[in-house]
Amino acid sequence: MKFIISSTALLRSLLKISGVLSTSSTLPILEDFLFELKDKKLKITASDLETTMSVEIDTDKAEDPGVVAIPAKMLLDIMKTFPELPVTISVNMDTMSVEIFAGEGKYKLVGHRSDEFPQVPVLENITTLDLNASILLNAFNKTLFATGNDELRPVMSGVLCEITEDNLTFVATDAHKLVRYRRPDIKPGNIASFILPKKPLNHLKNILSDDEAVEVKLEYNDTNAVMIFDDITLICRLIDGKYPNYEAVIPTQNPFKLVADRKSLLNALRRVSIFGSKSTHQVRFKISGKELMLTAEDIDFSSEAKERLTCSYEGEDIEIGFNSRFFQDMLNTLETNNVVLEMSAPNRAGILLPEKAEDDPEDILMLIMPVMLTS
């Protein structure tokens, strides 16, 4: 097996899929890239058993097709040092020795037989949905931060994808905060619901294009989902289990409405929270008239901060506590100039919404649970 390829093209392809590699696996083969050469096409695959990701790339010259697993770390480390130049990779299929020729250098390492590498799952009874890459990227950016890390509740460590005839919805929650990202402008026409795991989505988020011209083909069945775009194919095992009824926790009657400048509120929260408790991250919101007073204190260190903001407010005066870290995460994720905070009582969840234009296709709702105020 032998081929010649551009060093930068190969490195770019390896980096696209390297995030899937397992670093703590008991199976050494999962620390390898699988190289498959067929005609002039090179297919490189990485897997951690749960997620498999492959990229296809054209070689400049190829002879003797074959399949070999090559240690990923060593290959990445050497490829990162090369300038743009043609690299020749030659594999002795009997001894599995891999030779890399680049410029005046010759480098040798030992590959592994491909039969130990996990089989790529073949999906049956699939449903297909074509989506815009920028829509998926937005959905993942807006929801992933709200997923949980509780190993006892694995369903909450992923993102729920709900497909209905009228819209496409992504939901993430960790029981303290919840994000619902809905696109009413997408009408898939069929009905499905599944939970996508966090790790492959975080990786996709880094390589998905924001280009509206890029299409992603989403294929799914009861156990797996596949996303295909450009030269990439990602297959991930879905999280098994029933997602909590998120609609039931979203309060519908929220008579108190606060409208504030997003950046001013975010920066004030950043400043005030420095002086607050490092264990509860509690910040007190005291709203009266057209004034919002943010207060945080840490009794153990006798530190305290207060900051006043002007806002637009409808409703009775209210004092409510929120976790400043969660609130900052939400404000960071939103992009509008103004945000709307809807409330009903100090012990009921607050709803954070972007103040958006009429023609905005994104329907984003963020829910944050209050924290008990210490008097």
Q: Which CATH number characterizes residue 12's domain? A: 3.10.150.10
Whether residues 238 and 327 share a domain: the answer is no
Q: Is the pLDDT of residue 83 over 90?
A: yes
Q: What is the percent of the chain with per-residue pLDDT over 70, rounded to a whole number?
A: 99
Coil, strand or helix at 157: helix
Whether residues 231 and 258 share a domain: the answer is no
pLDDT of residue 285: 96
Q: List, as own/partner pairs, every contact residues 260-264 make where C-beta atoms lie below 8 angstroms and the sequence separation is at least 24, other chains included.
A: 260/292, 260/309, 260/311, 260/312, 260/338, 260/339, 260/341, 261/309, 261/337, 261/338, 262/331, 262/334, 262/336, 262/337, 262/338, 262/339, 263/337, 264/309
User: What is the DSSP code (8-state) at residue 91?
Assistant: E
Mean pLDDT (whole number) for 148-155: 88
Whether residues 166 and 242 share a domain: the answer is yes
Whether residues 226 and 184 share a domain: the answer is yes
Q: Is the pLDDT of residue 186 over 70?
A: yes
Question: Alpha-carbon distance 211 to 242, whole Å?
Answer: 33
Is the CB of residue 79 less than 8 Å from the CB of residue 11?
A: yes
Maximal CA-CA distance, the chain: 80
pLDDT of residue 189: 80
Is the CB of residue 226 less than 8 Å from the CB of residue 234?
A: yes
Number of domains in the chain: 3
Q: What is the percent of the chain with per-residue pLDDT over 90, rounded to a whole number?
A: 81
Of 272-276, 281-285, 298-302, 362-366, which gets the smallest average pLDDT? 298-302
pLDDT of residue 120: 85
- Asked, for residue 267, whether it belongs to a domain, the answer is yes
Mean pLDDT (whole number) for 180-195: 91
- Asked, for residue 374, whether it belongs to a domain, the answer is no
Determine the structural domain holding residue 141 and report its residue range.
127-248
- Asked, for residue 176, whether it belongs to a domain, the answer is yes
Mean pLDDT (whole number) for 210-226: 90
Question: Alpha-carbon distance 352 to 343, whole Å?
Answer: 9
Q: Is 53 left (phi over 0), alpha (psi -120 to 50) or beta?
A: beta
pLDDT in tens, 318-373: 999 999 999 999 999 999 999 999 999 999 999 999 998 788 888 999 999 999 88
Q: Is the pLDDT of residue 150 over 90?
A: no
Whether residues 241 and 142 share a domain: the answer is yes
Mean pLDDT (whole number) for 223-252: 94
Domain termination residue (choose one: 248, 270, 297): 248
Whether residues 51 and 99 share a domain: the answer is yes
Question: Alpha-carbon distance 211 to 346, whole Å?
Answer: 42
Which residues is 200 bridged to in the sheet? Answer: none
Whether residues 219 and 229 share a domain: the answer is yes
Sequence letter at residue 88: T
Which residues is 127 bridged to in the sheet? Answer: 220
Whether residues 240 and 172 share a domain: the answer is yes
pLDDT of residue 356: 84
Neighbours of 166 (CB within 10 A): 12
Q: Which residue has the tokens 């460590």?
A: 157
pLDDT in tens, 289-324: 899 999 999 888 889 999 999 999 999 999 999 999
Whether residues 325 and 266 share a domain: the answer is yes
**First-last CA distance in the chain:** 73
Whether residues 101 and 173 share a domain: the answer is no
pLDDT in tens, 241-265: 999 999 999 999 999 999 999 999 9
Split at pLDDT 50, 70, 90, the class of 375 is: low
| Residue, of 242 and 188, whose pLDDT is higher | 242
Split at pLDDT 50, 70, 90, the class of 151 is: confident
